[in-house]
Structure 1
Amino acid sequence: MFTGIIEAVGTIKAININAQGARIDIATNSLDMSDVKLGDSIATNGICLTVVAFQSAAEQGSFSADVSNETLKRTGFGHYQVGKAVNLEKAMLASTRFGGHMVSGHVDGVSEILSITNNGNSWEYWLSMPSELSHYIAEKGSVTVDGTSLTVNSLAAGKFRLTIVPHTVKETVFSEYKIGSKVNLEVDLIARYLERLLTKEVTTEPVSNISESMLQKAGFIK
């Protein structure tokens, strides 16, 4: 689980394609890796990746992770190249300050930057809204863009608007975006589960082990 508050911007050092997907090496740059162990999770542009190796036993300035074919298909990872900057966030601790919102690291779809407009000391970004995700994205609700927790400021047909402050541009990969850039989207986790609870279909009658004879033996009925 993550919060969507980016801790550092890393760089993809290597991408090795294999039959199962890809093995990637990521330079973590300013990310504190002193408490990271093999098997830990690091959100990389919003994708939960498992650390499978370090550069060396003594040097943890980079890590390796395996990316499945499913991830390559459903996220922007399929188009990433060596040298690309990526947002990094270590998995949250129970004691972590919850500054963003609940982020699972499971990408729901890919969006495109449609426009970037300066507005005072901030920037207005319009992003495309995949039709299958539109009902999860609400005005003043939360959305994760390449791992960054952000607030949706307004909606229009097939798109939504974000207001990005200078700190976010400085501390994330937003400074790399251009019109046409593809970004990973994760919708609000609570909205996703609420939909499932409200629309689930019961396909079989619930089975109960309670019978009249059992209730009689337990003294509930005579």
Structure 2
Amino acid sequence: MFTGIVTEVGEVVAVAQNGEVKTFTIACGYPADGIAIGASIAHAGVCLTVTSALTGGPRGTLYTVDAAPETLAITTVADWRPGTRVNLERSLRIGDELGGHMVAGHVDAKARILAREDLGTSTRFRFEVPARFAPFVAAKGSVALDGTSLTVNEVEANTFSCLLIPHTLEVTTWGAAKAGDAVNFEVDLMARYAARLAQFPAAEYASRSKAEATP
């Protein structure tokens, strides 16, 4: 689990194709001895498993992760090249501050930036998501975009806007984001389960439960 609070920006330094899987080598400032093999790290919102880690590279640490076909199909990972910068977040530890919202690192789809408007004290981005995900986006609700926990401001059909402060633009990849870019989109966990529960009317659920309990 993650919180959508980016703690480092990594850089892709190498990409290798291994059958249907792509292996990425990431350079970052996390201490190598603090990255366990098998650890989960969110990369632009995508939870990937560390397969190796060592000291070296331009940022102090190099580690590798693998991306399977499903990940490559529905996220921006397939487009990563050497030089691509990605938002990073280590997995949540019990007792850590929950600064954003609960994020699983399971990306639902790619959203597209429709517009960027720099307002001086903040920057407004407008996004478009596939229509089937529109019911999961609500004004004042939370979404994870490229691994960043953001609050939704306005919603219209399958488009919505978010305001980012200068600090967020400075310490994440959002400073370079522009209209036309694709970003990884994950709906809020509560919205996901609320939608699933809504598919089962209370009377039908009670009837099924009673039937299953009958010997």
Same fold (TM over 0.5): yes
Looking at structure 1, the residues matched to 167 and 90 of structure 2 have their Cα atoms a distance apart, in angstroms, of 19
If you compute each CA radius of gyration, which structure gives the higher value, 1 or 2?
Answer: 1
Aligned to 1:207, what secondary structure does the other structure show? helix
Residue 207 (str. 1) matches residue 212 (str. 2): yes
Looking at structure 2, the residues matched to 32 and 209 of structure 1 have their Cα atoms a distance apart, in angstroms, of 57
* Counterpart residue type for residue 139 of structure 1: A
Tell me, yes or no, if the aligned pair for 2:44 and 2:184 is still in contact at 8 Å: yes
In the TM superposition, 1:183-222 aligns within 5 A as 183-200=183-200, 206-208=211-213
Match of 2:180?
Answer: 180
Residue 133 (str. 1) matches residue 133 (str. 2): yes
TM-score under structure 2 length normalisation: 0.90
* Counterpart residue type for residue 132 of structure 2: E
The offset of 1:119, in angstroms, is 1.5
Match of 1:112?
Answer: 112
The offset of 1:19, in angstroms, is 1.7
The offset of 1:55, in angstroms, is 3.3
Match of 2:47?
Answer: 48
Gaps (5+ residues) in structure 2? none
* Counterpart residue type for residue 122 of structure 1: S
In the TM superposition, 1:86-101 aligns within 5 A as 86-101=86-101
The offset of 1:21, in angstroms, is 1.7
* Counterpart residue type for residue 213 of structure 2: S
Gaps (5+ residues) in structure 1? 211-222
Looking at structure 2, the residues matched to 207 and 125 of structure 1 have their Cα atoms a distance apart, in angstroms, of 49
Tell me, yes or no, if the aligned pair for 2:27 and 2:60 is still in contact at 8 Å: no
The offset of 1:209, in angstroms, is 6.5
Task: Indicate the percent of aligned positions where both proteins have the same amino acid.
Answer: 37
Looking at structure 2, the residues matched to 113 and 35 of structure 1 have their Cα atoms a distance apart, in angstroms, of 35
Looking at structure 2, the residues matched to 35 and 95 of structure 1 have their Cα atoms a distance apart, in angstroms, of 18
Looking at structure 2, the residues matched to 150 and 32 of structure 1 have their Cα atoms a distance apart, in angstroms, of 28
Aligned to 1:6, what secondary structure does the other structure show? coil
How many pairs does the alignment contain? 208
The offset of 1:153, in angstroms, is 0.6
Mark the CA change 1:122 to 1:33 in structure 2 (over 3 Å): closer, same or farther. Answer: farther
User: Residue deviations 1:90-146, cap 9 Å, x none?
Assistant: 001001100000000000010111111122311111111220110000001000000
Looking at structure 1, the residues matched to 166 and 32 of structure 2 have their Cα atoms a distance apart, in angstroms, of 26
Tell me, yes or no, if the aligned pair for 1:45 and 1:86 is still in contact at 8 Å: yes
Aligned to 1:99, what secondary structure does the other structure show? coil
TM-score under structure 1 length normalisation: 0.87
CA RMSD of aligned residues (A): 2.1
